[in-house]
């Protein structure tokens, strides 16, 4: 009887208290060039990034670099049964970001080329055969193995490519002759009025010939010299645009991207369940990183005339740019898209936390090389406590308990401020010893050098001369 009573009570409580839905972070597989600000990878705690270095403009021209990349591929990519490796991939990652800034230039017959093919075998197979979505670089070549929602090339007379490389409307120079226009799409409606429309960039690749199944949630309005350059580029290919719209963001189901290859690939793409995205602004460019995004003089790598690459600051703030990526991933993976204004500040705090935490680690790494003091142990203790709060805040965020997550990450930031003070104290003590040692070294060197100089230059010298006598005066 007692057992039945307990069971009845448990069932009653289960009906009154809704169970907490256990969620995991969305696995995002990123392959490509360096991200200008690593805080991007920690901005949204619901996205767990795995980054594989894939040099494009920092091309692996030497075999040791190629072998290093090959080791990364073997280290991170999972193993599975022959022909089922993409299923193992899809269990860990649900979204793929293909980041290369330039059209790739593989080294024929090198370990680098083998590593690239191995990467695409995993990522491309998962995108085509599973519910894995993908965000492709706008400079990805048209013969790429990963699906994308547009054809890309501008066609000339006789259906021959007028441009064999992606066409950059801005030419690698910052320009304000364009604004973004958010179409009537429920995915990005929350971004209206946030200032995203007035963000600018130094690279704007023309996403020519969108597939018939592709949707255009964000377009670009051009003016001035950029508009003139577009009109000149499409004068020989009027069908490059759909209804005169210049796409900034495209997406469609991966299964529909078989149109890119023709009906021969229809059966291969029939099992795909994800979404393919492409953005006209490279993910590591100034639009997403206005304080130091990468800019190329040309979007294609030509061995005889390689493009110049630089980091540029366009003097703007783009606080909601990273939220665009999160929204794409959430929508693609079937997650509820949270209220932008409610989560933006929380995400920014997670990014700030990571930056401050890493700065403290750099200080401790330097300080411990000079002197181990009790205050260093205090800093490590504070960091352990603050990491627990951050982990709990991230867990609450993934569980969509945003208010509690925001409160806890703020507490973590308040606690890390104390750790920063202790780290600054330990740094001051370490620098004091450095200054003392440097002062002693400089003083001793100056004394030795001065003593030697005075010995050889300033000492009194005597010279022996012969005796002289006065001559008697001559008589007149």
pLDDT digits (tens, 9 = 90+) for 101-136: 666 555 566 666 677 777 777 788 888 888 899 998
pLDDT given at position 256: 86
Of the candidates 336, 341, 337, 338, which has an alpha carbon nearest to the alpha carbon of residue 319? 341
**In the chain, % of residues over pLDDT 90:** 31
> Residue 62 above 70 pLDDT?
no
pLDDT given at position 234: 85
**Measured distance CA(106)–CA(100) in Å, rounded:** 12
pLDDT given at position 142: 46
pLDDT given at position 466: 61
Instruction: Give the confidence band of 141 by pLDDT, cuts at 50, 70, 90.
Output: low
In contact, 200 and 314? CB cutoff 8 Å: yes
> What residues contact 412, with CB distance under 8 A and at least 6 apart?
353, 386, 389, 390, 393
pLDDT given at position 8: 42
DSSP assignment letter at 162: S
Tell the residue number behind the tokens 């204004």, with chain if given.
341
**Measured distance CA(270)–CA(264) in Å, rounded:** 11
DSSP assignment letter at 182: E
Question: How many Cα neighbours within 13 Å face the side chain of 299?
Answer: 28
pLDDT given at position 318: 94
> Residue 243 above 80 pLDDT?
yes
Q: Is 252 helix (H, G, I), strand (E, B) or coil?
A: strand
Q: Which of 321-330, 350-359, 369-378 has the highest mean pLDDT?
A: 321-330
Q: Which of 289-293, 321-325, 374-378 has the highest mean pLDDT?
A: 321-325
The pLDDT tens digits for 67-97 are 666 677 777 666 655 556 778 888 889 999 9
> Residue 303 above 70 pLDDT?
no
In contact, 412 and 386? CB cutoff 8 Å: yes
Pick the more confident residue, 394 or 443: 394
Whole-number average pLDDT of the chain? 79
Q: Read off the pLDDT of each residue in 270-292 and give the average, rounded to a whole number.
A: 90
Beta bridge partners of 51: 30
Give the other-Cβ count within 10 Å of 232's Cβ: 9
Give the pair of three-digit tokens for residue 260.
């890119």
Instruction: Give the confidence band of 350 by pLDDT, cuts at 50, 70, 90.
Output: very high
Tell the residue number behind the tokens 């009194």, with chain if given.
460
The total number of residues written for the chain in this structure:
476
> What residues contact 125, with CB distance under 8 A and at least 6 apart?
85, 86, 89
What angle separates helix 321-332 from helix 340-367, to the nearest 10 degrees?
110
In contact, 281 and 248? CB cutoff 8 Å: yes
The pLDDT tens digits for 395-415 are 999 999 999 999 999 999 998
Q: Where are the beta strands (DSSP E) in 37-164?
A: 47-53, 95-98, 133-136, 150-152
**In the chain, % of residues over pLDDT 70:** 72
130: left (phi over 0), alpha (psi -120 to 50) or beta: beta
């Amino acid at each position: 009887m007692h057992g039945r009573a307990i069971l009845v009570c448990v069932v009653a409580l289960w009906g009154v208290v809704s169970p907490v839905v256990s969620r995991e972070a969305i696995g995002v597989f990123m392959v490509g060039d360096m991200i200008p600000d690593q805080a991007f990878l920690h901005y949204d705690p619901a996205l767990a990034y795995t980054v594989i270095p894939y040099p494009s403009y920092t091309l692996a021209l030497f075999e040791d670099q190629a072998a290093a990349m090959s080791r990364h591929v073997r280290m991170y990519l999972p193993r599975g049964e022959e022909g089922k490796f993409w299923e193992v991939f899809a269990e860990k990652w649900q979204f793929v970001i293909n980041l290369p800034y330039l059209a790739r230039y593989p080294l024929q017959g090198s370990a680098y080329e083998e590593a690239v093919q191995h990467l695409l075998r995993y990522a491309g197979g998962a995108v085509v055969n599973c519910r894995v979505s993908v965000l492709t670089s706008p400079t990805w070549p048209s013969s790429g193995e990963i699906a994308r929602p547009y054809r890309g090339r501008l066609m000339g007379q006789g259906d021959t490519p007028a441009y064999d490389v992606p066409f950059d409307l801005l030419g690698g120079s910052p320009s304000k002759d364009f604004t973004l226009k958010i179409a009537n799409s429920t995915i990005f409606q929350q971004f209206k009025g946030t200032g995203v429309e007035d963000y600018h960039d130094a690279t704007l690749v023309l996403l020519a010939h969108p597939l018939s199944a592709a949707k255009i949630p964000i377009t670009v309005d051009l003016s001035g010299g950029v508009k003139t350059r577009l009109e000149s580029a499409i004068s020989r290919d009027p069908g490059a645009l759909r209804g005169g719209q210049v796409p900034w963001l495209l997406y469609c189901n991966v299964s529909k991207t078989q149109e890119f290859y023709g009906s021969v690939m229809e059966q291969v793409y029939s099992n795909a369940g994800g979404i393919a995205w492409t953005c006209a602004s490279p993910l590591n460019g100034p639009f997403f990183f206005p304080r130091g995004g990468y800019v190329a003089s040309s979007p294609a790598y030509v061995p005889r005339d390689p493009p110049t690459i630089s980091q540029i600051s366009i003097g703007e703030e783009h606080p909601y740019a990273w939220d665009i990526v999160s929204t794409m991933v959430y929508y693609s993976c079937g997650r509820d898209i949270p209220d932008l204004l409610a989560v933006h500040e929380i995400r920014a705090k997670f990014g700030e936390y990571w930056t401050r935490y890493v700065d403290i680690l750099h200080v401790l790494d330097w300080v411990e090389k000079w002197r181990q003091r009790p205050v260093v142990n205090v800093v490590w203790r504070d960091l352990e406590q603050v990491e627990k709060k951050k982990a709990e805040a991230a867990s609450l965020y993934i569980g969509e308990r945003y208010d509690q997550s925001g409160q806890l990450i703020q507490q973590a930031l308040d606690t890390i401020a104390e750790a920063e003070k202790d780290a600054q104290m330990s740094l001051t003590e370490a620098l004091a010893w450095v200054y003392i040692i440097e002062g002693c070294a400089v003083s001793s060197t100056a004394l030795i050098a001065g003593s030697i100089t005075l010995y050889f230059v300033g000492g009194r010298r005597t010279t022996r001369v012969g005796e002289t006598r006065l001559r008697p005066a001559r008589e007149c």
